Structure 1
């Protein structure tokens, strides 16, 4: 066993690179649990192998509560400052049992499989309307802005009861909050977006409390379990998590998946010739070029041996889902994009207690969106070299700034 603090930290930026997988391959081979630094100097430990990642995702000694981080590493983890809204913090991704158990049970009452399945027809209608609109556009089309973004954000806003007129503001705040920052100006943008979005959600909740409707926020306000309800802070934080997490990840699931298909015409042809392959295709999108690069922060509650490396008590830990998805010890020919792979054993939606509640909705949206798109526009192709596409630099999200395409 080696002690993690004995090695000199290696710097990593997350995102911004067309191909981070060469780095992940080197880390899996040479230092599968690595002592790393972020651009702003914050230190953490990165888990890169599939087996270690799967174990770490369910290890109860790795807490989700940011209060468990040791003081010497506290600056690494983005915590609310005087300029930010602390009410956005207390959601499912930042608490442990028993609070996590109570919150998830309450939230699930307003997020049932029946409610999600009931959205299928509406998702198809939104998709068809967006495709109709795109048919009238001239020249190269930004598929990310015109389609991959518009579909999930419309779905999640309608689900929550958020006015669609506010979509562009929400997108601006969400982008700021999910972009990695390394300077005071960046932190100021995050603080401003956090404060504005927190205020917006709090006001929306107050309105829903007085004017309930057939929407998820109204359902969450009314949700009870053994006489308990979500507190105002918990309701605000959960609404924030569902609003931002419920569209950002699906936006880039659709865009990254379409990029992979356009880069692999043989796979595009397979899907167009056999639309029933869409279920497996979406799982391959998630594995091959998933929209979530790393799982959210965890903190060692005691010294923990992970992959033969001793992680100190209180240390921040990130688990690379992107690296785990390309681990040749788990996936045969992992760098090959194959929609007929038939292996959905990736870790993109997490494991155990923190398995993503929105996974069924994300899968449904991805299947409807991509299946309908490649059927309507069989000649769709990139309008720019893939090497020139710009990738966002974000701690969690792996996605593009734009995706220019020719539709025919």
Structure 2
């Protein structure tokens, strides 16, 4: 019989301290989330990798979604996404997942991503050209958000004029909004994407990414309209949210660790590889997306019964001192390979190469132009977004120099 642990109300603002004592207690613990959902939380590295790949743990949201109602202790209504946005790979097990991943891989190739580097450089340079020495700006608003949203909108062939709407919809869907807000935002997103998919499908195929995705064919098998809408939603949200917060969290970490900032200023050739350390130390995703046990599953000597929600803290696993020495310290010269910031196994993030490319370009250009940037906010005024999925700040005020 396990003891149910209540996570503190400020868990989202201070997860590392909570994760440290949870790891010390054991690899897996039954916890009550701040808003009253009972889950099994995995916080150690080796057990996280097991939980992310165990065939007894499912991601089939269509079959397991009712467990949110079963394990809610508050009796609140489940947050309902528009169904048109839900038929994507993150909500599926094989063979459905295998089929979708194979079709998307035909369009989302490493070569296609690397060919985007000149354009990503161009977008970053345009954004930095608008900034001046002495300016005080919110770095997220001025740089970390517009860079990846511009890239992903161009990738999907979506007019950049819509980017502020996407940001509002995305923030609503990934935070603890009301059910009414979720229905409104997901409905608006779905309506827009249905129209966009139909427009691209009616055109002749060209060499753009989304056209390649719409017309991707595997022995006569193609993505249908609903699958394309869900895939566009997944790419749009995951494609900018993770990178916004990878950039923002990295700059915050450097401002808090000036010795590490100096290393990257002195040796900018380390920036591409340093992405792995920033992903490890303060990755953009805290709790990986929904999973549940189809049968009793043993992880790290703990048996999780069937029909239980399992959440894996990627942030906690990446700070496991059994895996990384001095795990709570940022070390941009560390080899942080093996981290699970992008997940592990068949659901490993499809967009990881794009996020790494954008991080490399963003940090290289930012530090080259403003090597002496400093924080323009007192540390205690910085707030993390109200989300257990996304690990990112509301704002990051900096002074450019």
Give TM-score, length-normalised by structure 1: 0.93
Over residues 110-155 of structure 1, what are the superposed CA-to-partner deviations in whole Å (9 max), with x where a residue is unaligned? 111111011000000001111001128x641110100000100000
Structure 2 partner of 1:89: 86
Equivalenced residue count is 396
- Relative contact order (alpha carbons < 8 A, sep ≥ 6): 1 or 2 greater? 1
Q: Partner residue of 1:160?
A: 156
Structure 1 gap segments, 5+ residues each: none
Contact kept? 1:15, 1:392, Cα under 8 Å: no
Paired position in structure 1 for 2:391: 398
1:122 to 100, 110, 119: 119
Residue in structure 1 matching 2:362, options 366, 369, 374: 369
SS in 1 for 2:289: coil
The offset of 1:272, in angstroms, is 0.8
Contact 2:79 2:179 in 1 (8 A): no
Structure 1 counterpart of 2:196: 204
User: SS of the residue aligned with 1:336?
Assistant: coil
Indicate the residue corresponding to 2:299 in structure 1.
306
Aligned partner of 2:15 among 17, 20, 28:
20
Structure 1 stretch 302-311 or stretch 125-134: which is displaced more? Answer: 302-311
State the 1:405 CA deviation: 0.5
Distance across 1 between alignment mates of 2:11 and 2:250: 17
Deviation for aligned residue 1:395: 2.3
Query: Relative to structure 1, is the Cα distance of residues 262 and 234 closer, same or farther in structure 2, using a 3 angstrom cutoff?
Result: same
Distance 1:80 1:190 in 2: 7
Find the counterpart in structure 2 of residue 30 from structure 1: 25
For 2:66 and 2:366, the matched residues in 1 are separated by 49
Q: 1:297 aligns with which of 290, 294, 297?
A: 290
Alignment of structure 1 residues 4-403 onto 2, 5 Å: 6-11=2-7, 16-17=12-13, 19-69=14-64, 71=66, 73-74=68-69, 81=80, 84-135=81-132, 139-181=135-177, 186-212=178-204, 213-403=206-396
Unaligned runs of 5+ in 2: none
Equivalent residues of 1:68, 1:314 under 8 A apart = no
**Could you report, residue by residue, the CA deviation over 1:155-203 in whole angstroms, capped at 9, with x for unpaired residues?**
000011010000000000000011134xxxx121111111110111001
**What is the DSSP-based 3-state SS (H/G/I as helix, E as strand, rest coil) of the residue aligned with 1:134?**
coil
Distance 1:201 1:13 in 2: 36
Taking a change above 3 Å as real, the CA distance of residues 58 and 158 of structure 1, as seen in their structure-2 partners, is: same
